[in-house]
Structure 1
């Protein structure tokens, strides 16, 4: 199943963009591929022509995206024989990108995206409890254990992301799997901010282990409930971080309840 997941994740991340011509969309796809480990440190990217064709963007748009990634230290371009563009993974990549992404969202936009993440995760958990194979359950348990052992926010964010993708795959729904992967581009980078706290990493791992137990025993209602509580709690934590970092006077539009302390 893991090979299938890897292939599906790569297909989504490197598939044609719905809005061709957007440099930022290409940058976010490639950043996410690096953050999920789809592109490892030192890997050579396809040629600019081939990569532009995969994303369905103009070569100029692809070059602009690579230029942005070079400035961030994520891509290194070498000239001459054996040259090309190679992946680099700076230590500060995850937190820097997460902070910028969170700050760029308006309160209604953040709430809408958080609600969508909770809806996808809840549906995936419920269906996984009804359809998951023993192999699916074993893989989910392994990912929950990996989150528990994660030593930093980058690793924790990666295993959390992989868990939610695997949960959607265990639901045996390609549409849910695709949406779960898309959320890794639009939402999951921000998880690095909450997982900077070791206590939150432990809590997240414990809750994912509860989801695995529900899936194993076929408790669809319990699986949905635990995932909903987890994703909603994450949204509240992120909202508090956003409120703290926002300039004075910019929080008035924040929806009621979103900025409250998680209980």
Structure 2
């Protein structure tokens, strides 16, 4: 049963980029499941094999498998014939069962990438006032200390704060609009704690670069952060 999985999965089970290892591992596994590379009721390759092929630690792989288990895609079985198996019935794309248009998802992700990386770069290029700096550090602290059920709101507030300190009202308005679209997508997928911890670390890197006045680093940190979120959205909604 596993031999064709290994052959057909070469393209999917390739090394992920280290910047968003957890998110991309979830994406690769879900792609393999949704595309039928590992069919309903079939077993995923062994943990050791998957970790080696994806180029991630076994801790990261276990976190990704646990996230997919919690979301209803796989189950782990113990014993001689145990392992991680794809569930016979898979959740529909989107938390409410609606089919998501991949083109609309990609449109929102593209717009977000352009606006948010540009906003981070522009914010870092400005001479920030003490009030600007306090605004960034305060919203960062709120996001990092947020409870799970309030995370989306605090996360959105931080991203808007970055646009606000650019002093461009038009950019802030555009950011608010795209964030509404992104949040509608994010509401369709589960909150994954490893992703939230990773996002908070990335948020800190973004704000640190802005406060240090390093536009290139701010843009790169924001790009990496957004790409991680995009990986999860594509995985769950495609």
TM-score range for the pair, normalised by the shorter chain length? 0.5 to 0.7
Question: Unaligned stretches of 5+ in structure 1?
Answer: 1-97, 244-263
Partner of 1:188: 183
Deviation at 1:238, TM superposition (A): 1.1
Partner of 2:152: 157
Q: Distance in 2 between matches of 1:125 and 1:166?
A: 10
Answer yes or no: is the 8 Å Cα contact 2:100–2:237 preserved in 1: no
Answer yes or no: is the 8 Å Cα contact 1:129–1:217 preserved in 2: yes
**Equivalences for residues 207-222 of structure 1 within 5 A:** 207-222=202-217
Q: Distance in 1 between matches of 2:212 and 2:164?
A: 18
SS of the counterpart of 2:200? Answer: helix
Answer yes or no: is the 8 Å Cα contact 1:141–1:212 preserved in 2: yes
Partner of 2:193: 198
Partner of 1:166: 161
Partner of 1:109: 104
Answer yes or no: is the 8 Å Cα contact 1:129–1:223 preserved in 2: yes
Partner of 1:142: 138
Distance 1:189 1:137, change over 3 A: farther
Partner of 1:224: 219
Deviation at 1:194, TM superposition (A): 5.7
TM-score between both structures, scaled by the size of structure 2: 0.56
Deviation at 1:162, TM superposition (A): 0.7
Moved over 4 A (4+): 192-195
Distance 1:141 1:103, change over 3 A: farther
Q: Distance in 2 between matches of 1:104 and 1:144?
A: 34
SS of the counterpart of 1:99? Answer: coil
Q: How many residues align?
A: 144
SS of the counterpart of 2:120? Answer: helix
Answer yes or no: is the 8 Å Cα contact 1:147–1:159 preserved in 2: yes
Q: Distance in 1 between matches of 2:221 and 2:190?
A: 18
**Equivalences for residues 92-131 of structure 1 within 5 A:** 99-100=95-96, 103-131=98-126
Q: Distance in 2 between matches of 1:175 and 1:120?
A: 11
Instruction: Note the aligned Cα RMSD (angstroms).
Output: 2.0
Partner of 2:174: 179
Which is bigger in relative contact order (C-alpha 8 A, separation at least 6)? 2
Q: Distance in 2 between matches of 1:99 and 1:177?
A: 29
Distance 1:196 1:179, change over 3 A: same
Question: Unaligned stretches of 5+ in structure 2?
Answer: 1-93
Q: Deviations over 1:170-195 (max 9, x none)?
A: 11111110011112321123334567
